[in-house]
Amino acid sequence: MKFLIYLAFKLWLFSLLIFSFLIKKAYSSEPTVKLATSTWSPYTLEELPDSGLLGALIKEAYKKEKIKIEIIFLPSARAPIETKKEVYLGYFPTYDCELNDFQKSFPLGKSTMGFAKLAKNKWNWSKLADLSGKTIGNVRDRFFSKEFNSLIESKTISLEESNNDTTNLTKLLHARIDLAVIEKNIFEYLISINPEFKNQFVFETKNSINRNLYICFNKSNDGKKYLNIFNSGLAKIDKDNFIFQYIMLNY
C-alpha cells in the first residue's frame, strides 16, 4: 500500500514537472518584442533602469503577459522610419500615430508641449500668428500642431531644427533662436541637471498643448498582435502608483 502511495506521488510529481516544462516552453516560444525609442529625458534615457520611466512601464505591461521586450535607442527621426520598415514593431513615446499611419496603444501618460523662452525676454504674444518674424527651435521631425506647421510653410515664422532639446536650449541661451518647442517635464528636468540653464528660462504656457503619449505600432500582423497584448498588460497596472514608485527610486 505504501509503495502504491509512493508511486502515485512520484507520478504526480513527474506530471507537475512536465506541465511546468510545457508552460515554460510555451512562454519561451514567444519572440522578444523589439521597440525603438529616442532619448527624451526623463521619459526615456539609456542610463536609467529599464531605459527610463516609460520603458519601465512598457516592460512591466508586457511582463504581465509573460512577454519579454528589448528597447533600442535611435535618433528620433529614424525610429518611425525603421518601424515602418518593420525592423521594430513600434516606437515610443509619441503623440501622432495616425499622422504617420501607425496604430496607437493605450495612453502611457499625459504630456504638455509648449515653449521655452529667455526669462529676461519681456515681449508678449497671445497666439501663434503673433510670432511672425521669429525663429523657433524644434527637435527634428517633432510635430507640434497643424497651425504651427502652416505658419512655417507660409514662412510667417522660421524653423531651426536640432537633434535634441538640450541643443535647442543652448541655442536659446545664446539668442540664436527666439523660442524653443519643448515638453514641460523635459524642460524642468533639463533645467535641474544643467547648471548653466538655471534661472535662464521660463516655460511659456501660451498655446501649450496637452496630449497623451503612446507607443506607435506598425500595421503588420505582429504589430497588431503585440499592440493588443500590451494594452491587456497595461490595463492590469496601477499606472499612477507605478510611475510614482519609479520616480521615487530613480530621480
pLDDT tens for each residue of 161-177: 998 999 999 999 999 99
Mean of pLDDT over the chain: 89
If asked whether residues 230 and 152 sit together in one domain, one would say no
Report phi then psi at 86, rounded to 5. 70, 25
Residue 228 placed within a domain = yes
If asked whether residues 98 and 171 sit together in one domain, one would say no
What CATH number should be reported for the domain holding residue 244?
3.40.190.10
Residue 20 placed within a domain = no
Distance CA 30, CA 25 (A): 9
Residue 232 placed within a domain = yes
Those residues whose C-beta lies under 8 Å from the C-beta of residue 18, and which sit 6 or more positions away, are none
Judging by beta carbons within 10 Å of its beta carbon (0-12, 13-18, 19+), is residue 233 exposed, middle or buried? buried
Residue 38 placed within a domain = yes
pLDDT at 116 over 70: yes
pTM for the complete prediction?
0.76
Per-residue pLDDT at 21:
46
Percent of the chain with pLDDT over 70: 88
If asked whether residues 122 and 201 sit together in one domain, one would say yes
CA contacts within 13 A on the Cβ side of 170:
9
**Average pLDDT, integer, range 3-23:** 50
If asked whether residues 218 and 100 sit together in one domain, one would say yes
Tens digits of residue pLDDT in 173-232: 999 999 999 999 999 989 999 999 999 999 998 899 999 999 999 999 999 999 999 999
Per-residue pLDDT at 5:
52
The number of distinct structural domains making up the chain is: 2
**Average pLDDT, integer, range 17-25:** 49
**Residue range(s) defining the domain that contains residue 142:** 112-209
Place of cell 501618460: 109
* Confidence category of residue 13, pLDDT binned at 50, 70, 90: low
Per-residue pLDDT at 1:
53
Per-residue pLDDT at 18:
54
Per-residue pLDDT at 10:
52
**Average pLDDT, integer, range 47-73:** 96
The helix or strand, by DSSP H or E, that contains position 5, with its residue range, turns out to be: helix 2-28
pLDDT at 57 over 70: yes
* Between residues 13 and 139, the one the model is more confident about: 139
If asked whether residues 37 and 121 sit together in one domain, one would say no
